[in-house]
Amino acid sequence: MFGEQQRFMLFLIAPAALLMLLFQVLPIVIGANASFRDWALYNPKKIWVGFSHYYAVLSDPAFLYTVLPNTFLFMILSVAGALVAGLALALLLNRPFRGQKLVQTILLVPLMVAPVVAAIMIRWMFNDQFGIVNTVLEAIGLEGQPWLVQRWSAFGIILLTDIWLWTPWFTLLLLAGLQSLPKEPFEAAAIDGTTTWRVFRFLTLPMLRPVIVVCVVIRAIDAFRTFDIVWTLTGGGPGRSTELFSLYAYVHAFLNLDLGRGSAAAIIGGLIILVIGVVLYRLVDRIAKA
């Protein structure tokens, strides 16, 4: 029924497709089903309730005015911060110097650190009583802050942790990109005496754009679903003021034991990021073709 080539293609992807079917597609279908039912974990009646969970999530002030703005703010700031820092580091390191290997190895450190461990480290450093940050602040005469129990400082620390974790990733990929750029345009600019800023603005940045865009898309999609560092740093607190979307779904499903509502939240978030993902993909495609 299939040609020899079709059979080969099918066999190449069959194991992957089967796994995805069982462990991604099927759960999503079951989750979609649960999101329409009264499915409390302690008393799963599984009665059809239509869109009422969706309505509950979308009219929940916590979701609309805290979780969604937090998630988008986090996504934009974390990607922008890591991109700017990563690009700056890549430009700085894009020259031969002694100790290059050492610096590169140190830059790899955050990539090996589990987000949970990173969150523990930062939490310890910003501990309000014994943390090194407050100790240093007090030593130079400033007042220590209870960093993790105020909304915006807690949010800032979550952001800082994420940027710390991901800047090296941007740096390494952008550095690889920089090193594969052709040399001739830069030599021409040097002969013409072009200023450094103009070289960056009109040569480096446009030529690096495809790499940058791919990095940003991958990272933005991942940033949207951030869970582990928030969970370990603040648990969504103080109150629920630093909750991100993944946390909201988790809290409803496993702490409030309402799987129906948790699933509805998970599906709403999934749909939002899917739209963003498709739009971003179009963008990549256009830039790659231009």
Partner 1 sequence: MPIVSRPDFLPGLPKWSRKTLFALALFGICFAFAFPVLWLILTSLRPESGVYYVHRGTEFTLASFAEVLTDDRIVSAFLNSALISTLATIFSLLVTVSSGYMLSRFTGPASRIWFGTIYVFRCIPYISWVLPLYFVTQSWGLYDTYTGLLLPHVAVHICFFSWLMKGFFDGIDPSMEYAAMIDGCTRWGAFIRVAIPSALPAISALAVLCWLFTWNEFLFALILTGNRVPMITVVMAQFVTEMGLRWNLMAATAVMALVPAFLVALFGQKYVIRGLRI
Q: Segment 153-212, which members bind partner 1 (CB under 8 A)? A: 164, 167-168, 172-173, 176, 179-180, 183, 186-187, 190-191, 196, 199-200
Size of the site for partner 1 (CB under 8 A): 98
Binding residues among 215-254 for partner 1 as defined by CB under 8 A = 221, 224-225, 227-228, 231-232, 245-246, 249-250, 253-254
Amino acid at position 44, single letter: P
Q: Exposed, middle or buried by CB within 10 Å (0-12, 13-18, 19+), for 249?
A: buried
C-alpha dist (Å) from residue 77 to 70, 113, 114: 10, 21, 21
Smallest distance, Å, CB 154 to partner 1?
15
Q: Kindly tell me which of 66 and 71 has the beta carbon lying closer to partner 1.
A: 71
The reply to whether 259 sits near partner 1 by the rule CB under 8 A is: yes
C-alpha dist (Å) from residue 89 to 119, 126, 166, 182: 23, 25, 12, 20
Q: Kindly tell me which of 155 and 247 has the beta carbon lying closer to partner 1.
A: 247
Smallest distance, Å, CB 196 to partner 1?
4
The reply to whether 1 sits near partner 1 by the rule CB under 8 A is: no
Smallest distance, Å, CB 49 to partner 1?
17
Name the one range near partner 1 by CB under 8 A: 23-31, 54-62, 76-84, 143-151. Answer: 23-31
Strands in 59-211 per DSSP E: none
Smallest distance, Å, CB 228 to partner 1?
4
Q: Give 275-280 contacts, CB < 8 A, sequence gap 24+.
A: 276/220, 276/221, 276/224, 277/217, 277/221, 280/217, 280/220, 280/221
Contact by Cβ (8 Å): 284, 214: yes
SS3 143: coil
Smallest distance, Å, CB 275 to partner 1?
9
Smallest distance, Å, CB 218 to partner 1?
8
The reply to whether 81 sits near partner 1 by the rule CB under 8 A is: no
Smallest distance, Å, CB 27 to partner 1?
4
Smallest distance, Å, CB 22 to partner 1?
7
* Residue 142 DSSP symbol: P
Give the C-alpha separation, 152 to 140, whole Å. 23
Contact by Cβ (8 Å): 249, 34: no
The reply to whether 125 sits near partner 1 by the rule CB under 8 A is: yes
Q: Kindly tell me which of 66 and 232 has the beta carbon lying closer to partner 1.
A: 232
Q: How many CB atoms lie within 10 A of CB 35?
A: 23
Binding residues among 89-118 for partner 1 as defined by CB under 8 A = 89, 92, 94-95, 97, 99, 102-118
- Containing 45, the helix (H) or strand (E) segment is strand 43-48
Binding residues among 34-73 for partner 1 as defined by CB under 8 A = 34
Q: Kindly tell me which of 102 and 290 has the beta carbon lying closer to partner 1.
A: 102
Q: Kindly tell me which of 6 and 286 has the beta carbon lying closer to partner 1.
A: 6
Contact by Cβ (8 Å): 265, 252: yes
